């Protein structure tokens, strides 16, 4: 079974430029998560989708971040414009459903460097 796929794996951009990350969850997983992981820290939830509906986006900085999950499968996370402080690893995860006891499977992440 293929795991969570993310691309690109690495991205280097100048500040104020836009950037987008793509995630393909495990087949059949209805719930999709985007996490932010700063260096030396644990992941922090940005947004959670149940199918195509964003059920928790309270931690998403909506002035510059946006996300979508069209057709309830793949998802894209966008930053526009990027700031120096956005340098981090962006992780995508998926689970069968949004139940609290369902295992979340993580992708390898996209490491973003903003210069």
Partner 1 sequence: QQQVKQSPQSLIVQKGGISIINCAYENTAFDYFPWYQQFPGKGPALLIAIRPDVSEKKEGRFTISFNKSAKQFSLHIMDSQPGDSATYFCAASWAGGTSYGKLTFGQGTILTVHP
Closest-CA residue to 13 (of 83, 114, 107): 114
CA dihedral (17, 24, 106, 33) in degrees, to 10, reads 70
Residues 73-102 that bind partner 1 (CB under 8 A): 91, 93, 95, 98-102
Give just the sign of the alpha carbon dihedral 46, 76, 68, 101. Answer: negative
Which of 7, 66, 76, 104 is the binder for partner 1 (CB under 8 A)? Answer: 104
Query: Closest approach of Cβ 78 to partner 1, in Å?
Result: 20
Which of 34, 43, 75, 88 is the binder for partner 1 (CB under 8 A)? Answer: 43
- Yes or no: say if 32 and 69 are a contact pair by the CB < 8 Å rule: yes
Which region among 22-30, 36-44, 64-72, 73-81 touches partner 1 (by CB under 8 A)? 36-44
What is the contact surface with partner 1 in residues (CB under 8 A)? 4, 31, 40-45, 48, 55-56, 58, 91, 93, 95, 98-109
């Amino acid at each position: 079974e293929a795991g969570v796929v993310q691309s690109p794996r690495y991205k280097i951009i100048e500040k104020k430029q836009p950037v987008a990350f793509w995630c393909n969850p495990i087949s059949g997983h209805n719930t999709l998560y985007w996490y932010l992981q700063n260096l030396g820290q644990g992941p922090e939830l940005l947004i959670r989708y149940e199918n195509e509906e964003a059920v928790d986006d309270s931690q998403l900085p909506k002035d510059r971040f946006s996300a979508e999950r069209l057709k309830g499968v793949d998802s894209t996370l966008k930053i526009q414009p990027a700031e120096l402080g956005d340098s981090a690893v962006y992780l995508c995860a998926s689970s069968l459903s949004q139940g609290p006891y369902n295992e979340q499977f993580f992708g390898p992440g996209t490491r973003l460097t903003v210069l």
